[in-house]
Amino acid sequence: MDVLTRPAEEFGNDETLEHLWASKAMEHSDIYFNVLCSVDTRWLRLTPHDDLIYTHFKQDFPDLDVSYIQENILKNNTNKAKWRMFCEKFKNIIEDYSFGTLLRADTKGDYSEANTILVPRVQFYAIEIARNRAGLNNQVKKKFKCASLANLEAQKSQEVSV
């Protein structure tokens, strides 16, 4: 019997696979947050298709306040269906378009349990591209010291004390 024809209930979640996904998602969020701390985000490009993603995002979600994303509004039945249609537009354009990605709910905060929402990758791109173009993510570098910057400062202070 072909495995693919068997009912999904017969298969459990592979805990190892879940840990690997979580690890990859956390690594992505750490790298992205460090990038936000390092550059003027208004000029940051996340994909070669930023303009296309942004155009469709503004057409499909013209009134979405990207500075603070409320998960219950983002994932209510109406918006969930709209986002699904949005994401499918990029199925053959964005690699891993549906891969689970961590999104900060509030642009003023960092990645924390209270400020993180799991979204498909292309939804992350759409919201973050809009945030970057509006300069909303530039607040991060004023408020937080990212790991890479903190490491540089720690190295400098060690050199001075030697």
Position 8 scores a pLDDT of 58
pLDDT for the residue 34: 86
- List domains and CATH numbers for the chain: 13-156 (1.10.3560.10)
pLDDT digits (tens, 9 = 90+) for 35-46: 888 888 889 999
**What length does the chain have?**
162
For 140-162, letters b (16+ CB in 10 Å) and e give bbeebebeeeeeeeeeeeeeeee
Both tokens assigned to 122: 């292309």
Q: Give me the phi and psi of 47, to 5 degrees please.
A: -145, 165
Instruction: Return the number of other C-beta atoms located less than 10 Å from residue 91's C-beta.
Output: 10
**pTM for the model:** 0.79
Taking the C-alpha atoms of residue 156 and residue 140, their distance in angstroms, rounded to an integer, is 22
Q: Which amino acid, residue 80?
A: K
DSSP string computed for 85-151: HHHHTTTTTSTTTTSEEEEESBTTS-S-GGGEEEEEHHHHHHHHHHHHHTTGGGHHHHH---HHHHH
Q: DSSP state, 62?
A: T
Instruction: Specify the long-range contacts of residues 75-84, CB closer than 8 Å, at least 24 apart.
Output: 83/120, 83/123
Q: Which residue numbers in the chain have pLDDT < 70?
A: 1-14, 17, 145-162
pLDDT tens per residue, range 1-21: 465 566 656 656 667 767 777
